[in-house]
Amino acid sequence: MASNKGRAYFSLVGYHFNPDDITRLLGVEPTSVNNAGIKSGLDKPVISSWKLSTDTVNGDEGDVDVYALADIILKQLEPIKEKIIEVCKSHNLSPRVGVVLTLSVDKDESSSEVGFGARTIRFLADIGAFIHVDYELSERI
């Protein structure tokens, strides 16, 4: 059976913005972008996004450590905190930190704890970020 897997990410989402502008303003290369919003009309707005993600880790050697994954992202973002706040204001963006977990259905597989440390919570509060946890099962029963 498949083991647990997980990754953490930080994203900026909003309408009618070019993610390339965010990359230039923050000075950090994203893991992925979606620029659909720059092509949409005002009558039917579409969301664009700028995302910085960890690699997906496999829990073969134990639990997926969400705290550690969040810290990897946090260490990249702390030096640019003021820039993040500024681009969120100037481009009307919504910041969010997320965790994506694929959970094993094996009854012998331990379940991963999902949480964030105090330093991460403070940072998220400072920038006005949402937290999003997304999970799925490795196999459907």
The reported pLDDT for the residue numbered 94 is 97
Backbone phi, psi, residue 38, to 5°: -75, -15
| Token pair recorded at residue 71 | 């810290």
Strands (E), the chain: 5-15, 32-34, 47-53, 57-58, 94-103, 130-137
Which stretch of DSSP H or E encloses residue 25?
A: helix 19-26
User: How confident is the prediction for the chain on average, in pLDDT?
Assistant: 87
**pLDDT (mean) for 117-124:** 94
Write down the pTM of the prediction. 0.86
The reported pLDDT for the residue numbered 111 is 66
Q: pLDDT at residue 140 above 90?
A: no
| Mode of pairing for the β-strands spanning 130-137 and 94-103 | parallel
* CA atoms 122, 124, 127, 128: torsion sign: negative
What residue segments make up the domains of the chain, in order of their start? 5-137
Give 52-70 pLDDT, tens digit per residue. 999 988 876 667 888 899 9
